[in-house]
Chains A and B, each alone.
Chain A
Amino acid sequence: MIPSDHFTRFYNEVFKFLESQGEEALEAYWLAISKNQERHILELIETQGLEGMYEYWSHIKIEENCDMDLDFNEDRLELRMNVCPSLSKVMDNDAEPMERYCDHCAGWIGPIMDKTGYHMVYDVIDRKKPQCVTRIFKDPAKARAAEKDAKLLMGWPGHKVG
């Protein structure tokens, strides 16, 4: 058993292999993971919208030991990751981190937001630092306005940026 605690280091090896196979392979994988994650979050979004997302990430914050602030109001949900446990483990690793490790997060969340009619603005800030800010809006105009403040805006399959 690769312990669940070490999944991110396994994930990192998978990303390196897929990157060597080309961008299409990486994006197809993120979509497969996104589909897998639907079983945990889709119903919450479809029945409770932003509040359902808040419930999901409140649970993740505890279970994945995230140093993260969640801010929810009727317009948007903000996830401010102060110390990301996933990238932290990948950096604390005897194997080499994949340079675009952070891309997977937008890679699985983005397609779910597209599917449910929400608009995500995912600011990675710096791929070498375990921190990021994700904002999810119902109103696309508010999302477009928020994109202007991002330091390193991340896209996902079907939603390219930059």
Chain B
Amino acid sequence: MAESEVTMRYEEGGNVHLDFHGAANTTIDFIVERFGVAAMDEIFRKVGRDVYASIRSDLVAGDTRQLVRHWRHFFDREGGDYDIAIGDDQIVLTVRRCPAWHHVKALTGSVSPHFCDQTTVTNASMAEGSPYAIDTEITGEGSCRQVIRRRA
């Protein structure tokens, strides 16, 4: 079955409200300032584990297709500049222009230094207990490389 035929647990349509990324940035600053980075990371871990339980369950079963479809669907909806390379050993999402990061930058002039933790920590949490690791490398302002590969 092709990736495009896989059901996504949350298949959103309609209009997109990018200003939510501004509220996410405010939230990250608030939690980190009052409760520390560990508390923020625990919330992101819960997002990966509980909100994205369906993607995680697929990964645990050895199936990466829902996550890849999720990436395509939401980066397309938000107008991101990205590509996904699917190889034999790894799947690489290269984000050249992250719509979330750039929207916050345009809104507020500054982005939380922990803004991209939402990606790094949520990715790692989704992959927990699965045969895969998902590593996120921040390659610049509003750009990153996310790699799914089988654990050694």
Contacts and interface: CB of A to CB of B under 8 A. Distances in A.
Given A17-B42, A29-B30, A33-B26, A6 B51 contact: yes
A39 B35 contact: no
A65 interface: yes
Interface string B19-34: 1111110110011001
Contacts, number: 115
Contacts of B150: none
A21 B35 CA distance: 10
Contact of B74 (A3, A14, A32, A40): A3
A17 B51 contact: no
A24 B7 CA distance: 41
Contact of A5 (B12, B35, B50, B101): B12
A6 B50 contact: no
Interface of B is mostly: helix
Contacts of B12: 3, 5-6
A1 B100 contact: yes
Contacts of A36: 22-23, 26
Contacts of B9: 94
Nearest to B28: A14
B53 interface: yes
Contacts of B80: 1
13 contacts: A1-B98, A3-B74, A4-B16, A10-B24, A10-B27, A13-B43, A13-B50, A21-B35, A28-B34, A33-B26, A62-B15, A92-B10, A95-B50
A-B CB proximity, top 9 nearest = A7-B20, A95-B50, A3-B74, A5-B12, A65-B14, A94-B53, A4-B20, A36-B26, A63-B17
A155 B34 CA distance: 24
Nearest to A108: B23
Interface of A: 1-11, 13-14, 16-17, 21, 25, 28-29, 32-33, 35-37, 39-40, 60, 62-65, 89, 92-96
B18 A4 contact: yes
Contact of A3 (B39, B77, B95, B101): B77
A72 to B, nearest CB: 22
A146 B10 CA distance: 38
A162 B59 CA distance: 48
Contact of B119 (A1, A16, A21): A1
A51 to B, nearest CB: 21
A7 B15 contact: no
